[in-house]
């Protein structure tokens, strides 16, 4: 399959969805339908977005928000992978810590805010909130991956008396890596979501802050512009992460072979 058809495949559903959205909202607007005030057509959103995103808001809100989010995500990734390998390969660590983590990860992030407020104060709680919320997909998936190391490979590693570093980074991490990436991709969007949630509180800037302000000020077009920005950012970061993933998992035969086999099966 050539590049052009692939690209077309990639965007056709998206384009149709946006087209439908435009059509429906325009019709609603023309009919002065109830609530159409809150659902402006995408063309209007695009115009507002252009003004909003590339104004002073870029430096004041978008950049601080993104840096918090990326920093939080990266830290969550590192901690999640490290803890995940520990918990996945050590029964004892799991026995002692599993319960605490399962307890903590079930607390909705907005309810955790009091803890972070108590620990670092309301104006600084964004970063810990993001880290705390984004850890879990990486952690759980890494645990799964680390635990799933094939028994023969575990025995091979033990026979050759690999060093701890070699065992961790040479055996456990690579075999967990596909699952880790699934976790990282989930965490990425969760980090973005928590960036917004945490910016609702105590923050003078950020995308979430602007989004809520637009909501409160009854400026639905601006609100949608911020929502769309979140989508765009999510898409961009995800695409970058996928590039990274393809490199890291280049050794895998599966990406082409197996999906193909499944697709043409039967």
Partner 1 sequence: TLSGCGLLGGDDNTTSSGSTGSAGAVEKAKVKVGVLPVVDVAPFYRAIEQGYFRDQGLDVEPVVMASGAASINAVLSGDVDIAFSSYPAPLLAQSKKVAEFKIVADALTAKPGHIVVVAPPNSPLKKPTDAPGKKIAITARNTMTDLAPMSVLKTQGVDYTQVEWREMTFAEMIPAMERGEVDGAVVVEPWVTTAMKKIGAVPVFDGASGPTAEMPMSGYVAIGGTGKFASTSPNTIAAFQRGLAKAQAEATDRTKVEPMFVKYAKIDQQTAQLVTIATYSTSLEANRIQRVANLMQEFGVIKGNLDVASMIPSSTSNK
Partner 2 sequence: MNMLEVDGLGHTYKGKDGSHTAIDGLDFTVGAGELVCVVGPSGCGKSTLLRTIAGLIRPSRGTVSLHGNKVDGVPSDLAVVFQDYSRSLFPWLSVTRNVEFPLRTLSRTEREARAVEALAAVGLSTAGKKYPWQLSGGMQQRVAIARALAYRPSLLLMDEPFASVDAQTRFELEDLLLRIRREQDTTVLLVTHDIDESVYLGDRVLVLSKSPATVVAHLDVPLGPVRDQITTRASDDFVELRAKVAGLLQGAPVTVR
Partner 3 sequence: MSGAPRVPASLVGLVGFFAIWEVASRTDLVPGYYLRPPSVVLPTMVTLLGDPEFVRAVVATLAATLLALVIAVLIAVPAGLVLGSVPPVRRAVMTLVEFLRPIPSVALIPLALLTFGTGPDTKITLAVYGALWPILFNTMYALDEVDPLHVETARAFGTGRLGLLGRVALPSAAPFVLTGVRLSFAIALAVVISTELFSGGTIGLGQVVNVASGGGLNMDTVLAGTVLAGLIGYGANAGLELLHRKAFAWSQPKVGAE
Q: By CB under 8 A, name the binding residues for partner 1.
A: 35, 37, 113-114, 117-118, 121-124, 201-204, 209, 212-213, 215-219
Q: Which of partner 3, partner 1, partner 2, none does residue 251 bind to, with CB < 5 to 8 Å depending on kind?
A: partner 2
The residues near 136 (Cβ < 8 Å, ≥ 6 apart) are 80, 105, 187, 190
Q: Which is nearer to partner 1, 35 or 164 (CB)?
A: 35
**C-alpha–C-alpha distance, residues 76 and 222, integer Å:** 31
Q: Is 123 in the site for partner 2 (CB under 8 A)?
A: no
Q: How many residues bind partner 3 (CB under 8 A)?
A: 97
Residues 91-120 interacting with partner 3 (rule: CB under 8 A): 91-92, 94-112, 114-115, 117-119
| Interaction pattern, residues 161-200, with partner 2; x per rule: CB under 8 A | xxx--x---xx--xx-x-----------------------
Q: Which is nearer to partner 1, 176 or 223 (CB)?
A: 223
Q: Which is nearer to partner 2, 96 or 169 (CB)?
A: 169
Residues 154-213 interacting with partner 3 (rule: CB under 8 A): 154-155, 158, 167, 172, 178-179, 181-182, 185-186, 188-189, 192-194, 196-197, 200, 208, 211
Q: Is 259 in the site for partner 2 (CB under 8 A)?
A: no
Q: Cβ 1 to partner 2, closest distance in Å?
A: 14
In degrees, rounded to 5, the angle at the alpha carbon of residue 85 between the alpha carbons of residues 141 and 66 is 60
**C-alpha–C-alpha distance, residues 211 and 224, integer Å:** 8
Do 129 and 116 contact (CB within 8 A), yes or no?
yes
What does the CA dihedral 68, 73, 74, 80 come to, rounded to 10 degrees?
140
SS3 state of residue 122: coil
Q: Cβ 209 to partner 1, closest distance in Å?
A: 8
In this chain, which of 13, 46, 79, 132 binds partner 3, going by CB under 8 A?
13
C-beta atoms surrounding 77 within 10 Å: 23
In this chain, which of 2, 56, 106, 152 binds partner 2, going by CB under 8 A?
152
Residue 92 region by backbone torsions, left for phi larger than 0, else alpha for psi between -120 and 50, else beta: alpha
Q: Cβ 136 to partner 3, closest distance in Å?
A: 6
Q: Which is nearer to partner 1, 35 or 247 (CB)?
A: 35
Q: Which of 196, 163, 164, 187 is nearest to 79 (CA)?
A: 187
Query: CA quadruple 164, 169, 174, 178: dihedral positive or negative?
Result: positive
Q: Is 55 in the site for partner 2 (CB under 8 A)?
A: no
Q: Which of partner 2, partner 3, partner 1, none does residue 115 bind to, with CB < 5 to 8 Å depending on kind?
A: partner 3
As to burial, measured by CB atoms within 10 angstroms (0-12 exposed, 13-18 middle, 19+ buried), residue 148 is middle
Q: Which is nearer to partner 3, 56 or 164 (CB)?
A: 164
Q: Which of 105, 85, 120 is nearest to 187 (CA)?
A: 105
> 30 — phi, psi (to 5°)?
-60, -35
């Amino acid at each position: 399959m050539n590049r052009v058809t692939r690209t077309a495949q990639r965007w056709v559903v998206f384009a149709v969805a946006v087209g439908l959205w435009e059509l429906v909202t325009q019709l609603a607007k023309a009919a002065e339908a109830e609530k159409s005030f809150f659902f402006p057509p995408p063309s209007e959103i695009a115009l507002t977005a252009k003004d909003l995103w590339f104004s002073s808001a870029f430096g004041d809100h978008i950049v601080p928000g993104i840096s918090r989010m990326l920093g939080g995500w990266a830290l969550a990734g590192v901690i999640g992978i490290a803890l995940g390998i520990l918990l996945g390969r050590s029964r004892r660590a799991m026995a002692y810590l599993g319960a605490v983590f399962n307890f903590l990860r079930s607390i909705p992030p907005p309810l955790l805010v009091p803890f972070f407020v108590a620990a670092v104060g309301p104006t600084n709680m964004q970063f810990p909130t993001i880290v705390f919320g984004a850890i879990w997909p990486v952690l759980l998936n890494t645990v799964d991956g680390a635990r799933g190391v094939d028994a023969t490979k575990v025995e091979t590693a033990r026979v050759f008396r690999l060093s701890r570093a070699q065992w961790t980074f040479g055996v456990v991490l690579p075999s967990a890596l596909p699952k880790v990436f699934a976790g990282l991709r989930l965490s990425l969007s969760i980090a973005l979501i928590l960036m917004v949630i945490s910016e609702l509180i105590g923050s003078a800037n950020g995308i979430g802050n602007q989004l809520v302000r637009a909501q409160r000020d009854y400026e639905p077009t601006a609100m949608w512009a911020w929502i769309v920005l979140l989508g765009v950012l999510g898409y961009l970061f995800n695409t970058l992460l996928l590039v990274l993933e393809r490199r890291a998992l280049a050794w895998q035969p599966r990406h082409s072979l197996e999906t193909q086999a499944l697709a043409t099966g039967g």
